[in-house]
Each structure stands twice: as C-alpha cells, then as structure tokens.
Amino acid sequence: MKKLITTLVSVVLTMTVLTACGGKNSEAPSGSEGSSSKAITVRLGVFKNITHAPSYVALDKGYFQKEFGDNVKIEVLSFDNGSEFSTALATGEIDLGTVGPGPSTNQYVKSKNFRVVSGSNNGGAVLVVGKDSGITDVKDLVGKTVAIPTKGSTNEISLRLLLQQAGLKVTDDSTGVQIIARAPADTLIAMRQKEIDATLIPEPWGTQMEQEGIGSILVDWNKIPPNNGDYPLSIMVASDKFIKEHRDLVKAAIKANLQAIDFIEKSPDEAYASINNQLKELTGKAMDVELIKAALARCHITSDVSKEAIEEMAKVSIEAGYIKDITVDTLDLSEFVDLSMLEEVKSEK
C-alpha cells in the first residue's frame, strides 16, 4: 500500500511538472513562434472608396489570407466615414484596417489605444466647384457653402488649411465660408441640384462630378494641403490589444499591404479589376473601369507616412474644436505613429 501511494505521488508530481513546462508554450507571447497556432478571426475595417485601393487589392488577390495563414478567418467590416471606423477600433469592434488621419487622430487623443503601423495612400481628394457657381479662385468661396464627407474628417482639415492659405475664415454666415457635412453620395446629388457651391471630396467622387459635367476641379489633388497632396489620406492602423496579442499578424497585414501597393504599380489594369470586384462586394454596385483609372491617377499609393503632416492636421483639429482638453503646445503624437513593424517587414525582404 505504501509503495502504491509513493507511485501515485510520483505520477502526480511528474504530470504537474509536464503541465507547468507545457504551459509556457500554450500561452506563448504574441509575435513568438506558434502564437497564431489556433484558429482566430481578424476583423478588418475598410472604406467604400478608391482611396483605400491597396486594401481592396490585398483582399481580392488573397494577400491578406496568404500572409495570415489558413488558420485565420478574415471578417471584413465596411465603413462610410472615419469617425465610425475610429470608434469601432477604439472600442474593440475591429482589430485593424485603413482610415484617414483626421478622425483617427481625434479618437486617439481620447482613447490612446491604437496606432498607425503603415501608410496606404497619400492624397486623392480634390476641391470641386459647381458648374455655374461662378467660383474661379479659392477666395471666391466667401459666402459660399462647401461640403465635406463628415465633420472632423481629413478632407475637412485639408479644406480648412486651404482656406487659411487664402486668408479666409470658416463662419456660419456670409462673411466667411460655411462648411456642411454630407456623405459623398449625397454630395453628388446636392451638386447636381445646385444645393451646394463646392466640395472637398475624396476620389472617385470628384472625377465623377467632372465627368458628369456638373462640376469642375478648382484645386487638383496635388495642390491640396498639407504638402501639396503628399499627405496621408489612408493609413493602416491597429489596436494596441491586437498588436500585443498578435504582432505577427499585424506584420502580415503590413506585408499584404505592401504587396498590394506593388501590384497596383506594376499591374494597374489588373488592379482596376480587383478594386472593382471589392467595390461591388462592399456596395453591391460595380464602377466604370475608366472612372477607377482616372480616380487612381489622383492618388499616390504608398506605404510612406509623414508624421509631420499628421501633426499639422492634428493642430487644425485642435483649433477647430475637434480635439478637446489639449493645446497645440501640449500635443504629443510620438506613440501614435509607430512604424517599427513596417521597418521590420521591409528589412526582412
């Protein structure tokens, strides 16, 4: 009996030691070998416009799936504006995706729980004026109504910078420029019906207004501030929680984004088809390929991110009242833009 008890104790002790040793592997830190061994779902946020073209191509060509691996399921969630996207990211509804710096910076200052990990597209917005508006110069916008996709958007920040350059103020009366928020599809209708005088809007909407003959482009994408169009309009962001738990998958997403950018540059005709496939998937409606081609000509698809441009736009958001309880002097975005993983992926090539 004594021998039996001794044997049982030895077995229990052995099992305890084995369990303890095995526990380190079962709870491996994110980014280590085998961290994504069990099936998970990655919730990817995307927009319904061409300025997010790399995400479309990466989805359509299977780059995301290839880099994530077979054990990862991708759940795509589409958004109409950056504020909704940024809120979803901050509250854990999505893990990563592409968004504009305006609304994402506004949200980051409040929640500080996600960061920029790569660029996707610089530029791609234009200032369109109505066909019979009589506007031939930015200074002619005094007393006029200009639409932007949503309050606090990157497009509104660019518009405010453009007005500042012309010495104009944003007001609620005819002494300055009145800014109203309209979804791009509603802006198109408003322009047709001459309910607005102008709009600063992302592609392909500007090109569509131009092609329809209801508006003309007063300030092309490469003259829109900051940096004459070379500013982040679409950036890849990821939640801190997702980075901590799945750093390897964030790097995989960055790699897929880089592959898509390269594909758009080297195989534009095939890229147009991929973009159209995803637009149809997200909106239920395909787009004329020539419209996609013309719109992409007004974008600079790149992984580059200008921290200085993001900071400049953030200061405009502070002055406009979108970022509260912080001053221009105390603004600190040093942890918001984290390109370390992008650099790691590029160095691994």
Assigned CATH topology for domain 125-229: D-Maltodextrin-Binding Protein; domain 2 (3.40.190)
Q: Indicate if the pLDDT at residue 30 is higher than 70.
A: no
Q: Taken in order 213, 218, 220, 224, is the CA torsion positive or negative?
A: negative
DSSP state of 141: G
* 105-119 confidence digits (pLDDT tens): 999 999 999 999 999
Given a contact cutoff of 8 angstroms between Cβ atoms, the answer to whether 327 and 155 are in contact is no
What pLDDT score was predicted for residue 331? Answer: 95
* 173-195 confidence digits (pLDDT tens): 999 999 999 999 999 999 999 99
What gap in Å lies between CA 257 and CA 254, rounded to an integer? 5
What gap in Å lies between CA 343 and CA 34, rounded to an integer? 22
Least-confidence region, from 60-64, 81-85, 196-200: 81-85
- Per-residue pLDDT, averaged over 8-23, amounts to 38
Q: Indicate if the pLDDT at residue 212 is higher than 90.
A: yes
Same fold, 40-123+232-348 and 125-229: yes
Both tokens assigned to 294: 């013309």
Q: Indicate if the pLDDT at residue 38 is higher than 90.
A: no
Domain boundaries, the chain: 40-123+232-348, 125-229
Our CA dihedral for 322, 331, 327, 108, rounded to 10 degrees, sits at 30
Least-confidence region, from 88-92, 260-264, 285-289: 285-289
Residue 14 or 44, more confident = 44
Given a contact cutoff of 8 angstroms between Cβ atoms, the answer to whether 147 and 199 are in contact is yes
Q: Indicate if the pLDDT at residue 46 is higher than 90.
A: yes
Residue 37: band (very low, low, confident or very high) from pLDDT cuts 50, 70, 90: low
- Per-residue pLDDT, averaged over 229-241, amounts to 97
What gap in Å lies between CA 284 and CA 279, rounded to an integer? 7
Q: Which helix (H) or strand (E) holds 96?
A: strand 96-99
Least-confidence region, from 161-165, 244-248, 325-329: 325-329
Best CATH choice for the domain 40-123+232-348 from the list 3.90.470.10, 3.40.50.360, 3.40.190.10, 3.40.50.10490: 3.40.190.10
Q: Which helix (H) or strand (E) holds 121?
A: strand 114-122
pTM: 0.86
